[in-house]
Structure 1
Amino acid sequence: MSEIGSALPVALVQLCATEDAGLNRRQAEAWLERAVLEAPGGGRPRLLMLPEVWNAPYAVDRFAAFAEPIPEPGADLTQGPSPSLAMVASLARRHGVAVIAGSIPEQGEAGLIYNTATVVDPRGVLLAKHRKLHLFDVDVLGGICFRESDSLTAGEALTVLSGSSDPLGTGLQEPPNLGLLICYDIRFPELALLMQQRHGCTLLACPAAFNTTTGPRHWHLVMRARAIDTQCFVLACSSARPLGGGYPSYGHSLVVDPWGTVIAEAGEGEQVLQAQLDLSQVALARQAIPTSHQRRHDVYRLSGAPGSSVHEAHFMNTDCVG
């Protein structure tokens, strides 16, 4: 049973992108509108989520054509330069709901292109942005060969959104501290552990696009492993499996609890995945199995590299809608 004030209803939107940017925005908006509807047997979602690169084909030679400028946190996205995020922000404001807006190709400085995830508050304001740190450069014999670094530049900071003042407008007594990762980032446990140990994260969000080679092998394993490592909830929102050609996304969006249990899972196609996060389970898991207090810092410890940085956002909750 959830403690009073600890339940967070969420909805993950699993969808497919096309070669038509305008169509991608319209389809994403329609799916988000559907996700806002009250879930059967549960409350209206307070947090929505989109997958990795939802506004463009997931292809290294197409990222630049679909890239959009993304302002810095604090900007009103409804008036911003990104049409994709302006749509998300307008929907967020219309319904008074926060959105982890997946990732889109970002047109950065000096012509650089990034794979960038964002978080939007219920007023349509940008709370956080995370540039993918680990680019997906792999060559699996007999499987898939993909090199994001052929067109993308890696980010340089981990990204954490503090729950202080409840910027997501959850209404919870103890709003979550949110760590933001993108797909391949989740394979590097040090990143998630830093988010939990140094920045107090209780919720990790990972928009992703695992494929039909890596997905069957590792999708469930790595998401459950990071949940167990950090004793956090993990939201893993995937793109849907295309019916025709294109990048073969695995689908199977997941919600994993701090015990490593999958509490909600999507199929392969387009759909909305609803779940209730009982955030009181974070403290219970950490009390029952107190790994955070049992680490041997005299033998090993996490240490940020010289010059490493973190984007840690703290926002005052001023007139949040909802």
Structure 2
Amino acid sequence: MAETHGDGWATMLEATAPEAGMAEGQPSPGTLLPLALVQLQPGADPATNRRAAEAWLERALQPPAGTPNPKLLMLPEIWNAPYAAARFADYAEPVPEPGSLLLDGPSASLAMVARLAMRHGVSVIAGSIPERGSDGRLYNTATVIDPDGRLLAKHRKVHLFDVDVPGGIRFRESDSLTGGNRLTVLDGAGDPLATGLAQPPNLGLLICYDIRFPELALLMQQQLGAALIACPAAFNTTTGPRHWHLLMRARAVDTQCFLLACSSARPEDGEGYPSYGHSLVVDPWGTVVAEAGSGEQVLHAQLDLEQVALARRAIPTSQQRRHDLYQLSQV
């Protein structure tokens, strides 16, 4: 349903219900959230990666003619460094706690994003970067930054990517990284993302391998009220063709949320980590409403957030769960 263009961007004007009878009339302007996902491929030099990411974010703020400027931007997993477990320590940066101003550090990568956010008055789901924690450990950490350059939320990847697929890929994040230990949902009260919506969404954060564990997404929706889930990711050419679309659509249906899956791009020369690409926007009905290709590009979409309530009224799974038989709980 997305139109992909040769100059490196794709767009989907409205993410609405896929079947006749599901939607109730045309979307209201007060429920629409324009956004853009940036699919890029980092290299070996940190400064070059920051400049490239900034250029792609600037490009994302110039949508196709006749479409609104994005209010929310998103970067992929590990956008400031090569995706290689043995090299995460070389690129790790401190990430302060939510509430901190990022304009002048301590993370050079997040400072760049914060300055861009402030310059354009836009919020950014700043993908993830390798974090060196105050405890000396390394984490794969996603962040959300507001238009004032302030850190709104911070999520450390909970489930580490340790896999060995025969004839495919072997990768062990746990050789260098430590897993996070908490769920991350940004409360929409007060409109911290500056969406301008009457009912701003609660935003949940996952990172790549986290998406394979439905309990995490379900807890975000059932107990923390998520309506939008963002998943910066780097599936590869072994797991991507098998599971990328399947898992993103499944979690959207499970939670009846919009799902934003921003991937890194596939290297043109075939060297380095073989990222699958195909960044996605999935609606609460499980329909892919916008999709990128495998290379570097921007994916624009405009979400009709009223679809979250419509889906939950039409198929009220949250009200039909058998809590007398089973339940999810946080530790």
TM range (shorter): over 0.9
**Which position in structure 1 is the counterpart of 2:163?**
138
Q: Structure 2 regions of 5+ residues with no counterpart?
A: 1-25
**1:181 match:** 206
TM-score by length of 1: 0.94
1:284-304 C-alpha deviation (Å, 9 max, x unpaired): 000000000000000111122
Contact 1:227 1:233 in 2 (8 A): yes
Q: CA deviation at 1:38?
A: 3.0
Shift of 1:3: 1.8
**2:309 equivalent among 272, 283, 290:** 283
Q: Is the 8 A contact 1:71 1:80 kept in 2?
A: no
2:16 — aligned with what? none
Percent sequence identity over aligned pairs: 74
**TM-score for both structures, normalised by structure 2:** 0.91
Contact 2:63 2:300 in 1 (8 A): no
Equivalent of residue 116 in structure 1, options 136, 141, 144: 141
- The structure 1 residue matched to 2:254, chosen from 221, 229, 232, is 229
Unaligned segments of structure 1, at least 5 residues: 306-322
Report the 3-state secondary structure (helix = DSSP H, G, I; strand = E; otherwise coil) of the residue aligned with 2:69: coil
Provide the residue aligned with 2:101 in structure 1.
76
Listed one character per residue, the Cα deviations across residues 33-68 of structure 1 (whole Å, up to 9, x for unaligned) are: 000113333210000000000000000111000000
Q: Does residue 21 of the first structure (1) align with residue 20 of the second (2)?
A: no
Paired with 1:83 and 1:154, the residues of 2 have a C-alpha distance of: 23
Cα distance between partner residues in 2 of 1:124 and 1:243: 33
Contact 1:265–1:273 (CA under 8 A) maintained in structure 2: yes
Contact conserved, 2:92 with 2:132, CA < 8 A, in 1? Answer: yes
Give the structure, 1 or 2, with the largest relative contact order (CA under 8 Å, sep 6 or more): 2
Checking the alignment, whether the CA contact within 8 Å between 1:50 and 1:207 is kept in structure 2 is yes
Letter of the 2:317 counterpart: T
Residues 39 and 45 in structure 1, CA contact (< 8 A), matched pair in contact too: no
The answer on whether the counterparts of 2:72 and 2:125 sit within 8 Å (CA) in structure 1 is yes
Contact 1:130 1:181 in 2 (8 A): yes
SS at match of 1:30: helix
Pick aligned residue for 1:53 from 78, 81, 84: 78
* 1:37-52 pair list within 5 angstroms: 37-52=62-77
Q: Report what 2:325 is aligned to.
A: 299
Give the Cα–Cα distance (whole angstroms) in 2 for the partners of residues 65 and 31 of structure 1.
24
Once the two structures are superposed, residues 232-270 of structure 1 have per-residue CA deviations (whole angstroms, 9 ceiling, x without a partner) of 000000000001200000000000000000000000000
Correspondent of 1:261 among 270, 278, 287: 287
* 1:158 is the counterpart of 2:183: yes
Structure 2 counterpart SS, 1:263: strand
Q: Secondary structure at the match of 1:109?
A: coil
SS state of the match for residue 42, structure 1?
coil
CA RMSD of aligned residues (A): 0.7
* 1:218 Cα offset (Å): 0.2
CA distance in 1, matches of 2:74, 2:330: 29
